Amino acid sequence: MREVAIVAFAQTVHTDHDAGLTEPELLQPVIEEVRAKSGLRRFGFTCSGSCDYLAGAPFSFVSALDSLGAWPPISESHVEMDGAFALYEAWVRLQHGDVDSALVYGFGKTSMSDLREIMTLQLDPYYLAPLGLDQISFAGLQASARGADRAELDAIVRRSRADGRANPYALNLPDPTEEDDGHVAPITDGAAAIVLVAGEEITKYPRPAYITGIAHRIEPHYLGMRNLAQSTSTADAATAAGVGKGPVDVAELHTQFSHEEPILREALGLPEDTVINPSGGPLAANPVMATGLIRIGEAAQRVLDGTARRAVAHATSGPCLQHNLVAVLSSEV
């Protein structure tokens, strides 16, 4: 495999309301930031992740390309998924060997729509959607199947919100209350971008975050065919990515519900001393379609700044942790 590394990451200061910015206006500052951090103005490949339903318009990702500039022409692709899966596509593209750099970004504005209704539209239209169950209803089924301890979940929420308050990019959320227990990720608008380089291009950077392993796996769409108390696709992806081949200092997990953390910790086989979501994670800021990419960026940033030698990032898509991506980032190849 060709060596690929992350050399720049940027994200917006996320908000829980519409700040009046269009998608290109939301994206342009983070694009310019990763350009400055990487020293690159042009990229061999560009890939993005977003959801047309959030914008309420078809091919909304096309307008977001305005943030890149109209000239010169670029080689571009898009996934109707979280930006983390766009990063996987970019990683595969860099394996071809004819380009040495890639720009990846993801963005989402959930404040302008009903997220519970939108996420229901991803379900099978014949057997699942007519049941009237939404994302939170499915999460409740999984939490029940897991038999999650409420005290443990409350502690996860308190820790996540406290870490989020220390993160200048996350939402400034108070400790949970009876009215706002914090077990569901908050409505958030935001964007993020990452720069990947490969081959000899890596030698230009003093401390890159090498992607030493990356893989994604998926489970059946129908919940009755899965053991919701576990995440076998995460475990399989973790094995393929090589999570267990070394210590894990930090893990950034795409936990949109508090009960998902113990499921993922178990599936990834994380040691007890691994720090989970020091950024606050999705329970502190959840810009849908960028949240998974931010997990990779946050994990990589700790390698880039020297606070971690080896980190794991996780991203998910689909109901009840159906489709999971795992990446291992390291200061060494």
Question: Residue 285 in 3-state DSSP?
Answer: coil
Model pLDDT, residue 33: 98
Residues 6+ apart with CB under 8 A from 2: 94, 95, 97, 198, 199
- 128 or 184, which is more confident: 184
Whether pTM > 0.85 for this model: the answer is yes
**How far from chain centre, in Å, is Cα 95?**
22
The pLDDT assigned to 41 comes to: 94
Rounded to whole angstroms, the Cα distance separating 87 from 104 reads 6
Q: Which CATH number is associated with domain 115-185+210-330?
A: 3.40.47.10
The domain locations on the chain are 4-113+187-207, 115-185+210-330
* Residue 331: pLDDT band with limits 50, 70, 90: very high
pLDDT, average across residues 36-58: 93
Topology of 4-113+187-207 in CATH?
Answer: Peroxisomal Thiolase; Chain A, domain 1 (3.40.47)
pLDDT band at 124 (very low <50, low <70, confident <90, very high): confident
Q: How many CB atoms lie within 10 A of CB 309?
A: 16
Per-residue pLDDT band at 188 (split at 50, 70, 90): very high
- Residue 148 is predicted with a pLDDT of 82
Q: CA 186, CA 184: separation in Å to the nearest integer?
A: 6
Q: Which of 322, 316, 314 is nearest to 298 (CA)?
A: 314
Q: What is the pLDDT of residues 72-120, one digit of tens each?
A: 889 999 999 999 999 999 999 999 999 999 999 999 999 988 999 898 8
- Predicted pLDDT at 297: 98
The residues, ordered by sequence, that sit 6+ positions from 150 with a Cβ below 8 Å of its Cβ are: none
216-229 residue pLDDT tens: 999 998 899 999 99
The per-residue pLDDT of the chain, averaged, comes to 95
| Contact call for residues 106 and 27 (beta carbons, < 8 A) | no
The reported pLDDT for the residue numbered 121 is 85
Angstrom distance (rounded) from CA 147 to CA 67 = 46
Residue 307, pLDDT > 80, answer yes
* 217: β partners: 324
Question: What whole-number distance in Å separates Cα of residue 75 and Cα of residue 50?
Answer: 18
- Mean pLDDT over 244-268 rounds to 98
Percent of the chain whose pLDDT exceeds 70: 100
70 has a pLDDT exceeding 80: no
Which of the 8 DSSP states describes residue 184? B
Q: How many CA atoms within 13 Å lie on the side-chain side of 46?
A: 22
Question: Over the range 52-90, which residues count as b (16 or more CB within 10 Å of their CB) and which as e?
Answer: ebbbeeeebbeebbebbeeeeeeeeebbebbbbbbbbbb
pLDDT over threshold 90, residue 179: no
Q: Which pLDDT score is estimated for 103?
A: 98
191-203 average pLDDT score: 97
